[in-house]
Amino acid sequence: MSDTKLYNELAWTWEVLVSEEEYPVETDFLRKMIEKHKRTSGNEILDMGCGAGHHDLFLKGDYEIVGVDGSEKMLELARKRNSELAYHRGEMRTFQLNKKFDVVMAMDMIQYNLTYSDLEKALRNLASHLKTGGLLLFYLENIKDKFEQNKTRFKKHRKGNIEIVLVENDYDPDPEDTEFECHLVFLIRKDGKFGMEVDRHRMGLFELRRILEMLKDLNFKTHLYELDFSGRKYTKEGPFFVCEKQA
């Protein structure tokens, strides 16, 4: 993930691609999950893969938040958006804050593990930062059980004098391994001047059964919800994981 353009030289596009108006639905869902499943009495959140700090913007009024991300460019955006919060640079499998939290959010970060070994290391490290009775929250847009080969979508974005059309394509070149590729094509116009960027993201593609077994071995009780943040139980393409750390 650290060598992808989206989180480095194209990090500035987040301010065009993402609107803060999109986040209240997600953060309301997160609050409901925390209220429903958290068994600790505190309100401290670790936001792993905090990105540009959009979730933190809407949660910081109710929770004490510390953010971690592997990209310094993304951390710059997060600090600008939430100057009063503490942000640290670190990778999900190796960072260590020597502190335990009531909630650990990893959101879409988990998808960037490419093997079951890496996935286990990431989940174990995140669990080490969590109090007993606390929650680990994350989602996977793609799982091996329901992967759609060559899935393509696009969306148009505009802010001020900048227009971006973003095309995303998911493709699995080797169904026998645990990876797939997501290619992003950026069609960018600044003051009408056209430019194009292509970005390749290698992501993990795992069986849901094995993920749940891994979480159980790490002493989590897991609840699965729809990725549309509706609060409905999971049945479709990519589940949202709400994992309670057991004693």
Cα 88 to Cα 75: distance, rounded to the nearest angstrom: 8
How far apart, in whole angstroms, are the C-alpha atoms of residue 60 and residue 115? 33
- Asked if 151 and 126 sit in the same domain, the reply is no
pLDDT of residue 220: 98
pLDDT at 153: 96
Residue 192 is predicted with a pLDDT of 87
Q: Is residue 221 part of a domain?
A: yes
Question: What per-residue confidence (pLDDT) applies to 247?
Answer: 81
Quick check: 2 pLDDT over 90? no
pTM value > 0.85: yes
Q: What is the mean pLDDT of the chain?
A: 96
CATH code of 97's domain: 3.40.50.150
Long-range contacts made by residues 119-123, C-beta under 8 angstroms, separation at least 24? Answer: 119/204, 119/206, 119/211, 119/214, 120/214, 121/93, 122/92, 122/93, 123/214, 123/215, 123/218
User: Which two structure tokens, joined as six digits, stand for 233?
Assistant: 């139980």
What pLDDT, in 10s, does the model give residues 171-226? Answer: 999 999 999 999 999 999 999 899 999 999 999 999 999 999 999 999 999 999 99
Same domain, 126 and 35: yes
Q: Are 116 and 40 in the same domain?
A: yes
For residue 20, the model assigns a pLDDT of 84
| 186: containing domain | 144-204
Q: What is the pLDDT of residues 128-174, one digit of tens each?
A: 999 999 999 999 999 999 999 999 999 999 999 999 999 999 999 99
Share of the chain above pLDDT 70, in %: 99
* 6: in domain: no
Structure tokens at 9: 């030289």
